[in-house]
Chains A and B, each alone.
Chain A
Amino acid sequence: SAVISQKPSRDICQRGTSLTIQCQVDSQVTMMFWYRQQPGQSLTLIATANQGSEATYESGFVIDKFPISRPNLTFSTLTVSNMSPEDSSIYLCNVQQGASTEAFFGQGTRLTVV
């Protein structure tokens, strides 16, 4: 199994500012993803974090709003830019060692925008 450290665990931010969330894994993983979970909702995939290249974004999510970095196979960041109250959600880092393997999640970042 993979141990994932996600930081910060929670934050309260002013609208118009940006927050960077970090995801550190204790071993090299093939696949890393970022999800958003809005209040009372299920998880929605934001993007696939690709090592050494631009992330692959899902419909409705764009790089200018959610820039993602993945400099190596154990680390990724997600930035929520120019925040508004609608961005208040839990953001989750998800990793898999390979295709069709068990998915593991970080502890989540609970973001509140005021």
Chain B
Amino acid sequence: KQEVTQIPAALSVPEGENLVLNCSFTDSAIYNLQWFRQDPGKGLTSLLLIQSSQREQTSGRLNASLDKSSGRSTLYIAASQPGDSATYLCAASGGSYIPTFGRGTSLIVHP
């Protein structure tokens, strides 16, 4: 059974810092890995999707990498802003195509 772990669980940083959020998964036989953002009490917004054949994806200040062999993905946030404050979740999809989620990293960026 796939298990997804996210480190750190919480992060508080001053505005402008570059951040790295980590995601690890136990079963490397995945089809894709997806990063989401969740604001308090809300649904999930898709940020980046990395297919198993890809190594990374970029969108604006966000860059996500995938290393299937080591069971790891990282989300890099450049020049963080207070508006980036949210919970970030990663999800790995395997044989059933149903995403398995980590518990998330709660990020606070203070001015």
Contact = CB atoms under 8 A, between A and B. Distances in A.
Interface string B92-111: 01000111011110000000
B interface, over-half SS: strand
Interface string A83-114: 00000001010101001101111111010000
Size category of the B interface is 20 to 34
Contacts of B52: 100
A96 B103 CA distance: 21
Contacts, number: 53
A106 B31 contact: no
A interface, over-half SS: strand
Contacts of B99: 94, 103
A53 interface: no
A6 interface: yes
